[in-house]
Amino acid sequence: MKKISNVNSWKCSKFISNKNFNFNRKYILKYVSSRLLDDSYKTIRKWKSYKSTPLIKLEKLNKNLKLKNIFYKDESKRFNLKSFKALGGAYAVAKISKGKKNIIISSATAGNHGRSVAWGAQRLGLKCNIFVSQYVSDTRVKEIEKFGAKVFRVRGDYENSLNECKKLSKKYDWSIVQDVSSKNYKYVPQLTMAGYSIMIKEISTQTNQYITHIFLQAGVGGMAAGIVAGVAKYFKRIPKIIIVEPDRADCVLQSIRRNKMIKNKILKESIMGGMSCNEMSLIPWQILKKSSSHCISISDNKVAKTVAMLRDKKFSKNSIIGGECATPGIISLISACNDPKIKKSINLKKNSNVLLIGCEGNADMKLYKKLLSKGRV
């Protein structure tokens, strides 16, 4: 098997160990209950066209990094939405609507969450209004509109679109389905996180290998917290949880470093748009501040290369369609293995079984083609 070229120089931007790390199942499941995790799986497995997404071995990358196994959960094949977000927003819509047909659903999104909410509303015959910032691509907007939602574009960043969504939803009595929790808004985000935990439920039946490490992307932290809740419920042994973020938007890393929620100022949006968040969601913070063992931040400059290498079978015998936000796990794992101090701190060894979450496919086809072309140069 040929050695993978041009990855030996890849580096992390920042790395920290969590001094407060203490993975406690009971504590985690206090924030996203075992009952809710059971219900999400029981509900979603009954949906038409539901099936487990593939767990792919990256055997070429594994050989290169000298680990035991590297598993890649391929969410590009989740329903027809090309993203893990299909598990969260649509489930939350189903639960809060409770069979009612006269409610109007609303949400703010960077793309994939809005698509899930719109799809969930369409499944139940509900009207849906989605708010996006000026930075969300026209391609993503059209994908949302395909499910019958009305899209409102708001000047400014994601936070501006969220504030506008809240304002109009209050004025017109729309039901907000948001994956960002706050002091007075917890139940719906808990529903979305419960939906995300299904990935771990599936993985627990797809391999009998003990997963020693999970590299988890984070924006506001919802997916990461949902995965951790799934680990608390479904895994017998506890892996190391490594949170990965863009270095332009590393709110989880900064919050864990200071042991309090930190609001970052984003000077320039990351190409990993769905992860370009300036502040954590409240419930994910409560979960991740203790359950994540380490945090890594990465730059944007290897995203396009990784997109192309996934597609061109450089990491696996399979050709994998992974969008920009599917790449951070691979980039951070390679970078960690390239740094002896980080590799030792994380305890990556020949017997390590690493799990990566390929959280999206070509959800933004125009951007995907651009990254693919750039990465092949």
**Domain 89-178 classification at class level:** alpha beta
pLDDT bin (cut points 50, 70, 90) of residue 187 is very high
Largest CA-CA distance found in the chain, in angstroms, rounded = 61
Residue 39 has a pLDDT of 97
| Percent of the chain predicted with pLDDT > 90 | 89
pLDDT of residue 1: 54
Q: Hey, what are 48's tokens?
A: 């038409």
| Rounded (10°) angle between helices 303-311 and 328-338 | 110
Q: Place 2 in a pLDDT band, splitting at 50, 70 and 90.
A: low
Rounded CA separation 130/150 (Å)? 6
Predicted pLDDT at 3: 72
* Angle of the 282-291 helix axis to the 222-234 helix axis, nearest 10: 50
Q: How far is CA 124 from CA 42, 91, 100, 106, 176, in A?
A: 18, 11, 9, 14, 16
Q: Where are the domains of the chain?
A: 14-83+192-375, 89-178
pLDDT given for residue 69 in this prediction: 98
* Tens of pLDDT, residues 100-147: 889 999 999 988 899 999 999 999 999 999 999 998 999 999 999 999
- CATH class in words for 14-83+192-375: alpha beta
The crossing angle, in degrees rounded to 10, of helices 89-97 and 187-196 is 130
In Å, how far are 96, 118, 240, 262 from 327, measured between CA atoms? 33, 25, 19, 25
What does the mean pLDDT of the chain come to?
95
Q: Specify the pLDDT at position 274.
A: 87
